[in-house]
Structure 1
Amino acid sequence: MKKVQDHYFKMAKQDNYPARSVYKLEEVQKKYGILKKGNKVLDLGCQPGSWSMYAAGIVGASGQVVGVDLTDVMIGRPASSAGSAIRFICADIMMPETITLIKAIQSRFDIVLSDIAPRTTSSKWADQQRSLALSIQTHAVAVELLKSGGNYYCKVFEGEGFKDFFDAVRRDFRVAKIVKPQSSRKESREVFVLGIDYIGSRTGEPE
């Protein structure tokens, strides 16, 4: 396992990404093509920036990436050299006013991404429940801001309440899958929930 971890860590350094987590997005992109040129992308919990940078390279100059995170380390960092501009919002996705901040930049998105994770503690159960709460919120944001036909890709720790969360995603998307990327550590409880083709409805709101 150490060799696998080192492999992806070294790849990230060679490819000029801040973290190995980029390959968890790249793998699903190669298989399902969830990102497309010109897409408007929302990246929740975007630090340290690998997913935003990768997405920017895919969507290109005609697209847009908006990243949201509690920390502002990436504010002012240059956008992907070969992709779209990246806009960063320093805010808490659990706070209702964050939606207003996002909408001030872009009202609807083609895809919502989230590699967000809680600060871990000594309690695995508590960590899993906090991860689940964050994931439920990213799903709520996706329902609020996705265009019809949009996609959703979110990290979550498996455990109590996971089935209910996945069932909720299945109701809102034509296709829903549980993905365990090769670059994920095998001992980790993290999986990714993929929703393809948003079919949920928002009454009284234009697309």
Structure 2
Amino acid sequence: MSEPEDRRRMVRAPTSGDPAGRASADRLKSSRKHTASSQKWLERQLNDPYVQRAHAEGWRSRAAFKLMEIDDRFGLLRSGLRVIDLGAAPGGWVQVALKRGASAVAGVDLLPIDPIRGADLIEADFTTPGVGEQLLDLLGGPPDLVLSDMAHNTVGHRQTDHLKIVGLIEAAADFALANLKPGGGFVVKTFQGGAAGDILAHLKAGFTDVKHVKPKASRSDSSEVYLVATGCRVERGR
């Protein structure tokens, strides 16, 4: 999970020019360290009750509450499960999986993830050949549950961004269906209008039940939703 784009577009105050310009920059130094959109994001974070709860309760991100809500509704996590988390940084979902009884958790993200006791975490691109096999090796067997909170860095071109969203969902779904134990579950982040009909058909063919869910912990102005697929039908000799 990557940092919002606006936080990476910092604009440094000018350090040359006429004296008035320099004076203005100095006066605004503390109030304009961030762009307007970045400042708005920071204020929202500070005022977000889920961010505050995550900090108080020791969760690495507010996203932990999304998985807890989903699990409370669908009963995905239980003692002894093997879990793979795709797009695991900073580790909130890994924490929840372990707290709710998972015996083994393997996670991957493009960003580094600080170690979490009881989990094997790697920094890599999940879509790179061989990374999926590495996760399975770390897990020590086929997963009972595959989680994907992966998101891509948007480029601002609607059609391109849509294709990237669909590509990540397809990659996660293919991995889940190729490796889950029979009866296993799959949770994947998508966005309203982001999951193509053929992906849904693919999941409905491979699972007994597929539902769209928007947890209360998801911000109301966010278009993110989650697909929750349960009862993997695929039989394989493992």
TM-score, scaled to structure 2: 0.76
Q: Is contact 2:94–2:107 with CA below 8 Å preserved after alignment?
A: yes
Match of 2:215 in 1: 181
- Report how many residues are paired: 194
How do residues 168-207 of structure 1 correspond to structure 2 at under 5 angstroms? 168-202=202-236, 206-207=237-238
* Correspondence for 2:95 among 53, 59, 79: 53
- Structure 1 position 130 matched with structure 2 position 172: no
Check whether the contact 2:86–2:149 (CA below 8 A) recurs between aligned residues. yes
Matches within 5 A, 1:39-118: 39-60=81-102, 63-74=103-114, 77-79=115-117, 85-105=118-138, 106-118=140-152
Give the structure 2 partner of residue 25 of structure 1.
Answer: 67
Match for residue 187 of structure 2 among 150, 153, 160: 153
Contact 2:107–2:135, Cα closer than 8 Å, also in 1: no
Q: Is the contact between residue 155 and residue 193 of structure 1 (CA under 8 Å) also seen in structure 2?
A: yes
Contact 1:132 1:157 survives alignment (8 Å): no
Q: Of Structure 1 and Structure 2, which has the larger fraction of its residues in strand?
A: 1
User: In 2, distance between residues paired with 1:21 and 1:78?
Assistant: 16
Q: Is the 8 A contact 1:158 1:189 kept in 2?
A: yes
Q: Percent identity?
A: 29
Q: Residue 49 of structure 2 aligns to which amino acid in structure 1?
A: H
Distance 1:157 1:125 in 2: 14
TM-score of the superposed pair, with normalisation by structure 1: 0.86
Letter in 1 for 2:86: L
**Is residue 37 of structure 2 the alignment partner of residue 37 of structure 1?**
no
Q: Tell me how far 1:87 sits from its aligned partner.
A: 0.5
Kindly state the Cα deviation for residue 160 of structure 1 after the two structures are TM-superposed.
Answer: 5.5
- Equivalent position of 1:120 in the other structure: 154
Q: Is the 8 A contact 1:128 1:157 kept in 2?
A: no
Tell me the secondary structure at the aligned position of residue 85 of structure 2: strand
Question: Aligned pair in 2 of structure 1 residues 119, 201: CA closer, same or farther (>3 Å)?
Answer: same
Mean Cα deviation higher: 114-123 or 27-36: 114-123
State how far apart, in whole Å, the 2-side matches of 1:31 and 1:73 are: 28
CA RMSD of aligned residues (A): 2.0
Gaps of 5+ in 2: 1-43
The DSSP-based 3-state class of the residue aligned with 1:149 is coil
Matching residue within 118, 135, 141 for 2:175:
141
What is the match of residue 197 of structure 2?
163
Residues 117-171 of structure 1, C-alpha deviation per residue, up to 9 Å, x if partnerless?
1112323443332122111101011012100000001101232552222221111
Are the structure 2 counterparts of residues 55 and 168 from structure 1 closer, same or farther at C-alpha, using a change threshold of 3 Å?
A: same
Q: Structure 1 residues 153, 160: closer, same or farther in 2, change over 3 A?
A: closer
Per-residue deviation, residues 66-106 of structure 1 (Å, max 9, x unmatched): 111122232xx242xxxxx1001222111221122123223
